[in-house]
Structure 1
Amino acid sequence: MGSDIPFGFGNLGGDLPDPNDPRVQQMMQQLQQMMAQSLSSGPVNWQLAKQLAESELASENTVGPADQAAVSEAVRLADLWLDAATAWPSGVTATDAWTRKQWIDQTEASWKQLAEPLAGQMGEAMQTLVPEEMSGMLGPMADLMKGVGSALFGAQMGQALAKLAGEVLSSTDVGLPLGKTGVAALLPNNVAAYAEGLELPVEEVRLFVALREAATHQLYTHAPWLRSHLLGALDAYAREIRIDESAIEEAMSEIDPTDPEAAATMDLSEVFKPEDTEQQKAALARLATTLALVTGWINVVVAEAADGRLPTIDRLLESARRRRASGGPAEQTFEALVGLQLDPTKVRAATRLWKSLGEARGIEGREGVWAHPDLMPGASDLEHPEGFVTVSEAMGDLDMSMFDQLAVNDPRPPEEDEGDEGDEGEADKDKP
């Protein structure tokens, strides 16, 4: 670029810009106006994210009382069918029907939990790019890079949320509940579009989505450590984020600082070091295994609950499998957050594992494995599920009540494993 000063400041003339230069003062004023909102909004400018997302969803159908009634009835029936397929009571306390914009509003708190640790670490790394000798000139803009990062992540989250809002079918479609605890919510307009694409009756598709929604709420309610476990893996990944200074300098030089929406075009994969650390590889392996186990369990209980009751269940299960393989909401979410590409073969292996475990130990024995993270299968168990089933069957007579109490008192995130466990097939200590 011909200068060691980030973002082309050196091109204004001299080794450092003159703070009395009207051009510099004008640039600072523009940057202050653009960043004022971002600096006060934390690692991600969520106001910008929502504005951008909702602007892309300007025209959409509303949901009315008939939609609310249809969703409520589908979830009620789904819970009734799940009674015979699981060992737990319902995890649903209320139902709702959302538009796409309502999905964005209702899930904002969860997106903050998922994205802010990553964006915060990236923002801290970006802030180090401001040269020490420029701090005096910048004055109140010394935190310039935090504002840049906040606007950047806000713009990119806005794009991601708009895309997901057009595809998600329920509040749990990304692999965990994103709305309020116990609220089972479907997006009737998206469900109708999905049913039309499958050429299946919307009533049966709605019931299938309700089964998956109710099952997910049930799982997260009765495995209270599970949510913090997933968030812990994301935190572990975030702590190891490093920045490529030359890459961000080059990328930012191509962005118009007066146009916040231009930040949405920046490719973050080119900014942060592409080679994950060993700790990050281990965190991603834990995350991938846990998500596969969650999806596999849901597949099994939904298939068992709908068996003989839902005529199109085989087609619906196959459509869900194809949706994951081609990049569904869960796959898009975790690839965008941490570059994790969820492996469909892991989900198939997890589905076989839970099915075999239920046959060997019964429903209560299968659900007992969720009592504590230390009882859960690891990545290597997905390679050889029959071995885990055999060992787990031998433990069937043990008193699991102590693990139930541990899970309630200690819903801790997973500890980082020592050593190189980036290879999911060999990470014996890779507990989800």
Structure 2
Amino acid sequence: MTSIGGAGMVDWNLAVATATRLVRPGPEISREEAREVVAELRRHAKAAEEHVRGFTRMIPEGTEPEDTPVLVVDRAGWIKANVAGFRELLRPLLEKMEERRGGSAGGAVLGAVGSKVTGVEVGMLLSFLASRVLGQYETFAPATRELPASADGGGRLLLVAPNIVHVERELEVDPHDFRLWVALHEETHRTQFTAVPWLRDHLQGEIQSFLDETDVDPVTVLERLREAAQSLAGGRPEGEEGEDGGRSLVEVVQTPAQREILARLTAVMSLLEGHADYVMDGVGPEVVSSVGEIREKFQQRRARGASRLDQALRKLLGLDAKLRQYRDGERFVRVVVDEVGMDGFNRVWTSPNTLPTKAEIAKPEDWIARVHRRAES
């Protein structure tokens, strides 16, 4: 994992080591209790599969999509899985940057920074995220002996046990209900990708298009990062706030073409996250007795963040946009289901052409008009 394209742009082993070393320790828990948590999460994942399939009706009766493993992991396991995913997704971009590094003036700058520094930076980012993620459907990383995936080389459901225990204690909610509630959300993501075979390739294609548009000249990259840092720090000259003033670092360094791609990706991710929230709350009352209390407390936690530092990092990394995706996406799904029913909503999974645009996420009636009323006229 230490090199991609010759000498390598990122020391991936160092990224794993850095993240593992810096990540916060998990909650205090006995070995016996840890085993019970892992066993219960696996049971809940299995139960959630049946509940989600029955509620969403995405998988026709009598059919069985390709199975994907459920892995209950600690924070280090989540880090390893995500480094493997980043490595796979970023491979074409890093190979292109490696080629440019050797033959340009900016290459000397990037060479001076070095793969080890980049590995440390990636590790620091992952150490921040690793203590916050409750679960994830990991889509792109190849299968390994330590981290198995579906037969086609991608797809596994990760449940991060220490983070789930930490949050259920922080919220002071029923731990058994909370674990099933989380499993319902993450199982919805697994159902989305297993029931819609084209979804993984579509997302990967959009991400690769985004990366293909990246400025690979290191001098340009550094200049765009400098401008972004000034904007976020309030360092722009007075009267030059412009439209970038409220953007995250991730947004500011984009080209116009990347912003168009990101708008499409944002719409898809809003759909996926909002759908998962809608399903977990729709199934919840039947199988999670304290779902109302859990939802209220969890929403409050999402909104406020853990600290000022946490809020600043969320803004810098664009994680506030992630919170909007949950809210806006859930509203889109709710409005569409109320108007045309669950089967009518499921037309969204027909093809990339029936996915909502970013504008349609905000105005679900426009999606209904485009996909339903025009098809029926």
TM superposition score normalised by structure 1: 0.64
Name the structure where helix makes up a greater proportion of residues. 2
Instruction: List per-residue Cα deviations over 1:337-360 (Å, max 9, x = no partner).
Output: xx6862644543332222232233
**Please, which runs of 5 or more residues in structure 1 have no aligned partner?**
1-35, 132-141, 252-268, 399-432
Partner of 1:100: 75
Match runs of 1:15-414 below 5 Å: 40=6, 42-57=8-23, 65-89=35-59, 93-123=68-98, 126-130=101-105, 145=110, 148-172=113-137, 180-181=149-150, 183-242=156-215, 243=217, 245=219, 248=222, 274=252, 276-322=254-300, 325=303, 336=317, 342=321, 344-394=323-373
Equivalents in 2 of 1:167, 1:147: separation in Å? 33
Equivalents in 2 of 1:214, 1:287: separation in Å? 21
Partner of 1:28: none
- Assess, with a 3 A threshold, how the Cα gap between structure 1 residues 355 and 248 changes in structure 2: closer, same or farther: closer
Q: Secondary structure at the match of 1:96?
A: strand
Which stretch has the larger CA shift, 94-103 or 63-72? 63-72
Equivalents in 1 of 2:354, 2:194: separation in Å? 17
Deviation, structure 1 residue 234: 2.7
- Assess, with a 3 A threshold, how the Cα gap between structure 1 residues 37 and 94 changes in structure 2: closer, same or farther: closer
Equivalents in 1 of 2:54, 2:197: separation in Å? 22
Which stretch has the larger CA shift, 74-83 or 46-55? 74-83
- Assess, with a 3 A threshold, how the Cα gap between structure 1 residues 335 and 211 changes in structure 2: closer, same or farther: farther
Deviation, structure 1 residue 232: 2.7
Equivalents in 1 of 2:268, 2:313: separation in Å? 16
Equivalents in 2 of 1:212, 1:44: separation in Å? 33
Deviation, structure 1 residue 37: 6.8
Is the Cα–Cα contact under 8 Å of residues 57 and 343 in structure 2 kept in the other structure? yes
Deviation, structure 1 residue 374: 0.4
- Assess, with a 3 A threshold, how the Cα gap between structure 1 residues 99 and 349 changes in structure 2: closer, same or farther: closer
Which stretch has the larger CA shift, 148-157 or 85-94? 85-94
Equivalents in 2 of 1:273, 1:88: separation in Å? 33
Equivalents in 2 of 1:192, 1:225: separation in Å? 34
Greater C-alpha Rg: 1
Q: Which amino acid aligns with 2:14?
A: L
Equivalents in 2 of 1:374, 1:247: separation in Å? 33
Equivalents in 2 of 1:272, 1:363: separation in Å? 35
CA RMSD of superposed structures (Å): 4.1
Q: Secondary structure at the match of 1:184?
A: strand
- Assess, with a 3 A threshold, how the Cα gap between structure 1 residues 301 and 114 changes in structure 2: closer, same or farther: same
Partner of 1:409: none
TM superposition score normalised by structure 2: 0.72
Is the Cα–Cα contact under 8 Å of residues 186 and 276 in structure 2 kept in the other structure? no
**Please, which runs of 5 or more residues in structure 2 have no aligned partner?**
142-146, 226-246
- Assess, with a 3 A threshold, how the Cα gap between structure 1 residues 323 and 125 changes in structure 2: closer, same or farther: farther
- Assess, with a 3 A threshold, how the Cα gap between structure 1 residues 53 and 275 changes in structure 2: closer, same or farther: closer
Equivalents in 2 of 1:334, 1:234: separation in Å? 21
Aligned identity (percent) is 23
Q: Which amino acid aligns with 2:45?
A: V
